[in-house]
A and B are shown apart, each in its own frame.
Chain A
Amino acid sequence: MNPTETAIRQFLVEDVFYDRDLGSLGPDDSLLAKGLLDSMAILKTVTFCEEQFGITIPDQEVLPDHFESVRAIAKLVERVRGK
């Protein structure tokens, strides 16, 4: 995992899922198939990424495909950061 993925993964496990047993969560594991993300979790994750990476994620980018997995969220962050 690259540093962006590592930071997002750690945030999700500790501050969103409250479950360190998810230590095995892989970068491509689906967050949505298991119903791990609710609306509050999405808001928190967006806020975390914006603060952590100094970016603004446009609302229309906050869509299921971009939150499918840790890797997908990291890709979104990189794409927004590259703009």
Chain B
Amino acid sequence: MSLHRLLPRLVTQSADRHATAPAVVMDGVTLDYATLEQRSNRFARSLVAHGVRRGDRVALWLPKSPDAIVALYGIMKAGAAYVPGDPASPASRLAYIARDCAVAGLVTTRDRAQALDEAFAGRAPMRALWFADADDARAELPHVAGLPGVHWAALASEEPRAFDSPALEDDLAYILYTSGSTGDPKGVMLSHRNCRVFTDWAAETFALTSQDRVANQAPFHFDLSTFDLFSAAAAGASVHPVSPRIAAFPAAVAMRWTQDRLSVWYCTPSSLVLMLTRGGLEKQDLSALRVLLFAGEVFPTKYLRQLVALAPHARYANLFGPTETNVCTWLEVKQAPEGDAPLSIGRACPYDEALVLDDALRPVPAGGVGELWIRGASVMHGYWGSPERTALALQTIDIAPGIRDRAYRTGDLVRVLSDGNLEFLGRRDHQVKTRGYRVELGEIETRLAAHPAVGEAVVVAVPDDEVTNRLKAVVVSKADVEVSADELREHCARTLPRYMVPETVEFRKDLPRTSSGKVDRRALLDAPKGAR
């Protein structure tokens, strides 16, 4: 067996130590570690039999399920990187991603075949296709772009014994596509090593054991899920993916997690706030909650105080980092914060170094404001197929006098506090968060501008207590072309994920400008005249 420190090795090790311990628990189905190990070995062999090789990419486009987890481990064992698509996004976006990184395979479900077939329009990059819901080997399967598809049931004929992975630590483990400011999503390339420095550290720091039950709310295309999956696997704990049926209902999630006595929760502040404000969390028994981690957005302190009051026995930590570095700084919250001052993002995790630099790339002294740069083991390999974007984001700079290294430029403005912690102040660009999702306003603007009736379009983020931001489009339509807000939203929804579709569309005759002639985005936040 390979001794390399790959992500799937965590499952192999836990299967050796805790074969019958639950690995995945979801909707009444439990996979123990031995079963997860064997099924992912079988799938790795099926991938290899269909031509998937070390260094390839394999897309996942299916709802959360235990089989989706089998699939992502199988893909990594085969030496390929998994590329998780947002199951709620249109097929056209998945087709873009699949072509962009030229996937060798695709795992999906039968009900998505027709939409995929249309989106690929006869030209698909993959050589093979698996239907994870095809449990009956005799059932007839739909074709996608001429490919026949493989039954999940066919995995039973593959060998379950240990699979010797050809991958090494610096091979890509997964590619996460994130919103791109120029109009197309970009693929963030992360290796086994990039991920494991975080997930191993987190499993140790938060003292996860095989007794822990770890919640999984984040979708697999969202990097919070790497903690849920891989820190749990490192400890031999069970991961409990939230059922797609209840995921959008805060009251149902709060009830399920407390009834299932989940001990470790890692969520976005938005989802925790909704559980507090709309989910009746205060009526639930939180005695099993041991560790509560949050990331992805600023947590409004008044809600964090409420949460700490409900479960004062739990450990709390604010984890921080863009997809490009996963978690790079963290703050343990030892007591409920007082007042409205935002929580700091703490300091660098031990595998990374946080540099706060001015525009001349000189370190900023305590009290000063600068841009956050991150160097270290969790920093991504780059953006797939985009050396230009990679060169802008990853630069070799002086990290100390006479010492140079490659560092990731986050675009985040931070202040260095007197105690050495960092305070997040905002973005240098037009990237925003909504419900924990990272959105480039430029990507939505590009899509709007592609509509024949649109002259100019600007999208702004309107701050919101519960969901961080709501998106509003301000549109100047072309003279004598009629277009409705509904039509523009539909136009966006055909290629963008739903969370990127502006909730309101406001029409104006012209856009307010600053004295330098730029669009005055601040002025657009107010006065929604004639919006709907």
Contacts and interface: CB of A to CB of B under 8 A. Distances in A.
Interface of A: 14-15, 17-20, 32-35, 37-44, 59-60, 62-64, 67
Closest 10 CB pairs of A and B: A18-B493, A18-B489, A39-B248, A18-B490, A59-B278, A38-B248, A42-B248, A32-B245, A64-B245, A63-B252
A68 to B, nearest CB: 9
A41 B499 CA distance: 10
Given A15-B486, A32-B245, 17 more contacts: A17-B493, A18-B490, A32-B244, A34-B111, A35-B63, A39-B250, A39-B270, A39-B271, A40-B467, A40-B499, A43-B278, A43-B466, A43-B467, A59-B250, A62-B278, A64-B252, A67-B249
A14 B499 contact: no
B501 A59 contact: no
A70 B314 CA distance: 40
B166 interface: no
A62 B493 contact: no
A36 to B, nearest CB: 8
B493 A19 contact: yes
A35 B87 contact: yes
Contacts of A41: 248, 498
Contacts of B251: 59-60, 62-63
Interface string B461-496: 000001100000000000000000010011011000
Contacts of A64: 245-246, 249, 252
A19 B490 CA distance: 5
Given A14-B486, A18-B489, A19-B493, A37 B248 contact: yes
B165 to A, nearest CB: 32
Interface string B215-252: 00000000000000000000000000000111111111
Main secondary structure, interface of B, reads: loop
B279 interface: yes
Interface in B261-301: 270-271, 274, 278-280
A58 to B, nearest CB: 9
Nearest to A30: B245
Interface string B102-113: 000000000100
B63 to A, nearest CB: 6
B99 interface: no
Nearest to A41: B248
Contacts of A14: 486
A42 B486 contact: no
A53 B265 CA distance: 37
A44 B499 CA distance: 13
B361 interface: no
B284 to A, nearest CB: 11
B249 A60 contact: no
A42 B249 contact: yes
Contacts of A18: 486, 489-490, 492-493, 498, 501
Given A18-B490, A18-B492, A19-B490, A35 B249 contact: no
B459 to A, nearest CB: 15
A62 B503 CA distance: 21
A44 B248 CA distance: 12
22 contacts: A18-B501, A19-B490, A20-B486, A20-B490, A32-B244, A35-B88, A38-B247, A38-B498, A38-B499, A39-B249, A39-B270, A41-B498, A42-B249, A44-B503, A59-B278, A59-B279, A59-B280, A60-B280, A62-B249, A62-B251, A64-B246, A64-B249
A83 B278 CA distance: 21
Nearest to B111: A34
